[in-house]
Amino acid sequence: MTYTVNGKTFSEEPDPGQCLRTFMRSLGHHGVKKGCDGGDCGACTVWLDGNPVHSCITPAFRADGHEVTTIEGLGTPEALHPMQKNFCAAPGFQCGFCTAGMIMTAATFTDEQKQDLPRALKGNLCRCTGYRAIEDAVNGVAEIEEAKPGHAVGTSVGAPAALDIVTGRAEYTMDVEMDGMLHLKLLHSPHAHARIVSIDTTAALAIPGVQRVYTWEDVPRKLYTTAIHTDHLVDPDDTYMLDNVVRFVGQRVVAVLADTIGAAEEGCRRVVVEYEPLPAVFDPVEAMKDGAPALHGSDDPFVQDPEHNILLEIHGHVGDVEAGFAEADVIHEGTYSSPRVQHAHLETHGAVAWMEDGRLNVRTSSQSPSIAKIKLSHLFDLRPDQLRVFCKRVGGGFGGKQEVIVEDLVSLATLDTGKPVSLEFTRTEEFTTASPRHPMTLTIKLGAKADGTLTAFSVHNISNTGAYGNHGGETLFAGGAAVAIYRCANKKYDAYSVYTNTVPSGALRGYGMTQPSFAVESAMHELAVALHMDPLELRRRNIVRPGDALVALEDGPDDVMFSEDGLGDCLDLVDAALKRNTIEGPAGDEWSVGVGTASSVHETAPPTEHISEAWATLGDDLVYELAVGTVEFGEGTSTAHVQICANQLGTTPSRVRLIQSDTDKTGFDTGAFASAGLFVAGNAVLNASNALRSRILAFAASHTGVPLADCSMDDDGVLCGDTRLTLAEVVAAGKARGIRFTEARKAYGSPRSVTSNTHGFRIAVNRITGEIRVLYSVQAADPGVVINPAQVRGQIEGGVAQGLGFVLTEDHHVDHTGTMINPNLRNYRIPTYADVPRTEVILVESQDSVGPMRSKGMAECCINPVAGAMANALFDATGVRIRELPLTPDRIFSTLLEHQKTVVSAAATA
């Protein structure tokens, strides 16, 4: 067969049945990405004779005699296609994994298609941006600015990797080929709970190309937790790499290693496993009852009540809640539930391992290579110097990659065989074996005086941690912070993290706060209605103010500090915006319009220990080198770190070379989660940059004999009084004296600040079909001092889009056997371009932070108020309260129908 790819013609025979995506990648065109393998996401888009196609569902043989263009052939960093320029300038990406496919699609648009982007972009998904930036890129709207020397902070500079991303040259985890690489595939349990009686690997090992078949008897028999935190003791050691007891449908049972993916998959099909099914329980309330099937034994000291499947229970209180309810004029009580939802980052979990100079190297999509290294060292009894873990660019995370769930098996196979080994999850595996958000059911009880003053605040939370406890305890603690947003003398928080025979839950943007925020803000709205008070006014009267303690689980000291009323400002700004934008709904009597708001506060770093170290160096090439362990997966920390460094060294971002997320080349970093990539690692960068500046100035002062106070730095040198030394002269003089200009500094996640967010929606609801149309969306947020305005806006827009999926469409459906029935992007339904309205973003700039340059991270907290605001708007429009997510049209229709029947019945009785 003859192919022309990016202008080069050659003869090549693809494998039988091979799709065009894998064929292009085998030829080295790694800009063609895998996000779904089902034609759902568009990350693999290429041109076939100039027409965009999803290469994952296009057979490779169909390109015979035709011209294929990949992102690498569209343009180069030196000669960009106009659409590539637009995506740089907008910027139209965050993690960038979808960007090549987006550009390949958008570059073919006619003017007519640009006027109908909901249809034109229906085949391309983005999980990061919220699509506004992509729309701007398509239409040539630019936001990127050039920074002046020493003034990078506060400027919308572009990401360091922008050119590589838009040209397909940015390396992601699986964009690597190695001679002799072997491939792992996994056999998953069909049972929710079973004991493995026997495993027959004979037929699998007979498959040509199969090298090894690993069972629970072939792996280290060590209990550990897959969750990533600096202190592993906050999570239960309840997991084996492979086990002889399976506790959820999808749990890995066998790993097959082969020369090809196809051989490994066939090997999995040939393994014969005999199971002894065990009783299963899927509902956490049922799991806590006497006589329920017990998932775990009592050998883990962190499991509080194994007989009742309770991993952890928390009971915190302040004051006397019962006395508070006794003095209340109005009491509201309601139960609110939210489902299991998935991160749906377009890059699935993956890792590659190999031996080099006697050391194990692991290239992974982790959010924390430093902690992954510690876990692998523990599992395989390796000294730290025997192991390197690193990341290239990571294609989205949102907390889903705050786990070690692929690195262990590739390490096992490489240590066993000495050969390179790769493991990449399919999209189905992502849905059925990775760790989604915890389903929670919260009962909120509020008491208030007639003037709206809260007298009692009680929260009862049941969290479904699934089959294993990774993040189960920490998210439960985080959820307790939901009671901190309002002042009340009497508070109570009772919470349970419960094992069930379902996929283990984990970390997801908002980390334990998103579900309680929905419940608390819905309950506050209902209380306001009962008090005949405006919901925003009720919040104003009760929100925490500067000087108040953030009282949550107990009335004790903490390390959280805030001195400015960011939350009050957010409330006022959203109130004004909603009154200013009174957009009318669609015509017709079946439509009703409603307005809803919700707020949240979020601590800027986790309460558990968070550490980061940064190294700043003036290189011999006169470029500042910044090394920091934080991973970049779309949250924008790389850009912010470079800006902070450039700002302090009096230069521009282009003069800073970033090295990151490599345990051989950077210092320790707990990980990029909980917005700590900016708050903690950013402080480390600030400290190291300031230390390097001080070192350079002190040397220049000594060298010139000018007082230090009279020395300052500019873009290319040091001015000492009337004498100016170029950086070249500084480096040369330093070498002559044996001095190297490099500094390392650490930062810790304490003390912490508070971010605040208020969201508002104006929506129209069709009372016949249950359809919701967003007429206006606005979020006010307090990010402290803004490092990069475009990035802050983009993070909020992306968080709102993800929040819309949480409240309206996304539901990880599990049937009566514990099996997920919609394990693909087409049926799971993350928001598309057509589903996401533009959100007006209003920033409250404050000095209320101990973060770098007094900034606060925005990637985490922006999702929290979205669901509550939407639920409250729905109630305002219809008079009907739905307390269970998602708010799908069928659920809205059914609830409205039942409400109407009740009204009619009551009228007839009267």
Q: What is the pLDDT of residue 71?
A: 98
Q: 536: part of which helix (H) or strand (E)?
A: helix 535-542
Would you list the DSSP string of 646-661? HHHTTS-GGGEEEEES
Instruction: Give per-10-residue mean pLDDT for the chain (910 aa).
Output: 95 94 97 96 98 98 97 96 98 98 98 97 98 98 97 97 98 97 98 98 98 98 95 92 98 98 98 98 98 87 89 96 98 98 98 98 98 98 97 97 98 98 98 97 98 98 97 95 94 98 97 97 98 98 90 85 92 98 94 98 89 97 97 96 98 97 98 92 98 98 96 94 96 96 97 95 97 98 97 98 98 96 97 98 93 94 98 98 98 93 80
The amino acid present at 250, given as its one-letter code, is G
Q: Give just the sign of the alpha carbon dihedral 252, 309, 438, 783.
A: negative
Expressed in percent and rounded to 5, the helix, strand and coil fractions of the chain are 35, 25, 45
Q: Could you give the CA distance from residue 600 to residue 807 in angstroms, rounded to a whole number? A: 16
Q: Could you give the CA distance from residue 797 to residue 801 in angstroms, rounded to a whole number? A: 6
Q: How far is CA 339 from CA 336, 464, 518, 818, in A?
A: 10, 10, 12, 14
Buried b (16+ CB within 10 A) or exposed e, 9-44: eeeeebeeeebbbbbbbebebbbbbbbbbbbbbbbb
The amino acid present at 210, given as its one-letter code, is V
Q: What is the pLDDT of residue 209?
A: 98
The amino acid present at 62, given as its one-letter code, is R
Q: Could you give the CA distance from residue 68 to residue 729 in angstroms, rounded to a whole number? A: 51
Q: Could you give the CA distance from residue 319 to residue 328 in angstroms, rounded to a whole number? A: 15
Q: What is the pLDDT of residue 548?
A: 86
CA quadruple 570, 576, 581, 586: dihedral, nearest 10: 80
Q: Could you give the CA distance from residue 216 to residue 218 in angstroms, rounded to a whole number? A: 5
Long-range contacts for 326-330 (Cβ within 8 Å, ≥24 apart)?
327/447, 327/449, 327/455, 328/447, 328/448, 328/449, 328/455, 328/456, 329/448, 329/449, 329/450, 330/447, 330/448, 330/450, 330/527, 330/530, 330/531
Backbone angles phi, psi at 791, to 5 degrees: -70, -40
For residue 559, what is the DSSP state?
A: S
Q: What is the pLDDT of residue 303?
A: 87
Q: What is the pLDDT of residue 301?
A: 72
Q: What is the pLDDT of residue 693?
A: 98
Q: What is the pLDDT of residue 383?
A: 97
Q: Could you give the CA distance from residue 475 to residue 489 in angstroms, rounded to a whole number? A: 25
Q: What does pTM read for this prediction? A: 0.97
Q: What is the pLDDT of residue 330?
A: 98
Q: Give just the sign of the alpha carbon dihedral 595, 603, 849, 858.
A: negative
